[in-house]
Structure formats: C-alpha cells, structure tokens
C-alpha cells in the first residue's frame, strides 16, 4: 500500500507471557503475522523490498532495571521489559521483519514513564514521527499491546501529529477486556479508524 506503514507496539515477551502478560496476546501476534503476510505477499520476502512498499516499524518498551514505573520503585507495574532481558525482546515470529533503524525504544530514562511509541527513538536518535515522514507515510496502521495504554497513547499522538490512523482491532492484546472495549470506542470517537 502506497504511503502507508505498520507500527507494531510492544509485542514483547513480558507483555505476551511474562511479568505483565496481557489477554489475547498469542492471537494478536498470529493475526499481526497474517496481516503482514497479506500486505507483503508476492514481494519475494527480500527485506528491502518489503520495507520500500510497506515499512514495518517496531516500538519497544525498554527500561533500565530500576525504572520508576516498577513497584519496587513506587510505580504501579511489576518489573518488565528490562533492556537486554528476554522479557524485553520482540516476539520471535516477528523477528524476520525487524530492522534496527525502524525500531524505536521508549521508557529508557529511569525517571520518565513513556506509554507512547511516538516518543520512542531509533538507534540513530530519530523519532518515530521523523522516520514516518521520511518514509512518506501518511496512513499509519497500528497493532500491539496493550490497547488501553501504549497502543492508545501511540495512536492518539500519531493522530495529533496529523497522520491518518488505522487501528487493527484483531491484532491487539489488553490488560482488561472492558477497558479494551471502552478504549476502542473512545478512540473511534476521536477519529481513529478501527479496522
């Protein structure tokens, strides 16, 4: 699809089957792979070809071991997604699509909570918004974990920045089902397309 890109938020082991495991994670990963397949089919699977036609960008929650959002530090979450641990890795099945320059880390600073992937930066120090503009992407498809927190914040920031945002509802996992449904309704009312 021309001028579009996929942003995969926090499909990391701690959110899938680790310390902060979310509902529907396995299905969300499987559906995401199916979606990627449907968008990249017939392009030979060569990395550069896929990236040229339908860039896939990954967001990673990426914390120091003493991050302020952790319960031991007075935060509300169990320890999760510590940089360099298995829990902070992107799901194995998605690895073939991961490109360092299109991977954006957030929550790296001890004192700052960052739910939004929009605040993430890649290894060259570029922000998600900057890279989406360089890619000429105007329509951003979003999937990931968790609907109510990092997915929602990412979608809302993209919308505020002027992108058209499409949320892939089958490719989401969540902390709480009711919260998930409510977040979808509210995002729809804000102008995010639920697909």
Catalytic positions: 10, 61, 63, 69, 80, 106, 113, 146, 150
**Which H/E stretch holds residue 61?**
strand 56-61
Q: Mark the segment that binds Zn ion (CB under 5 A) among 2-10, 100-108, 140-148, 159-167.
A: 100-108
Regarding 61 and contact with Zn ion (CB under 5 A), the answer is yes
Shortest distance in whole angstroms from residue 137 CB to Zn ion: 25
Closer residue to Zn ion in complex, CB, 12/29: 12
Q: Mark the segment that binds Zn ion (CB under 5 A) among 21-29, 103-111, 165-173, 180-188.
A: 103-111
3-state secondary structure of 195: coil
Regarding 89 and contact with Zn ion (CB under 5 A), the answer is no
**Torsion sign (Cα): 111, 113, 119, 125:** positive
Regarding 148 and contact with Zn ion (CB under 5 A), the answer is no
Regarding 156 and contact with Zn ion (CB under 5 A), the answer is no
Distance CA 152, CA 150 (A): 5
Distance CA 27, CA 24 (A): 5
Closer residue to Zn ion in complex, CB, 67/180: 67
In 63-160, at which residue ranges do the beta strands (DSSP E only) sit?
A: 103-106, 139-145
Distance CA 56, CA 72 (A): 35
Residues that bind Zn ion (CB under 5 A): 61, 107
């Amino acid at each position: 699809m021309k001028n579009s890109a996929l942003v995969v938020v926090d499909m990391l082991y701690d959110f899938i089957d680790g310390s902060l495991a979310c509902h529907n994670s396995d299905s969300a990963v499987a559906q995401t792979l199916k979606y990627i397949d449907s968008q990249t089919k017939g392009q030979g699977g060569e990395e550069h070809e896929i990236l040229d036609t339908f860039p896939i960008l990954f967001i990673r929650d990426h914390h120091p071991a003493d991050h302020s959002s952790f319960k031991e530090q007075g935060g509300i979450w169990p320890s999760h997604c510590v940089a360099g641990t298995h829990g902070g890795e992107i799901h194995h099945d998605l690895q073939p699509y991961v490109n360092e320059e299109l991977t954006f880390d957030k929550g790296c600073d001890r004192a700052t909570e960052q739910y939004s992937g929009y605040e993430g930066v890649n290894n060259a120090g570029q922000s998600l918004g900057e890279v989406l503009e360089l890619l000429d992407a105007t329509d951003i498809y979003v999937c990931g974990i968790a609907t109510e927190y990092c997915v929602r914040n990412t979608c809302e920031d993209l919308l505020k920045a002027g992108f058209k945002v499409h949320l892939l509802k089958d490719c989401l996992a969540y902390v709480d089902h009711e919260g998930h449904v409510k977040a979808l309704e509210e995002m729809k009312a804000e102008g995010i397309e639920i697909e």
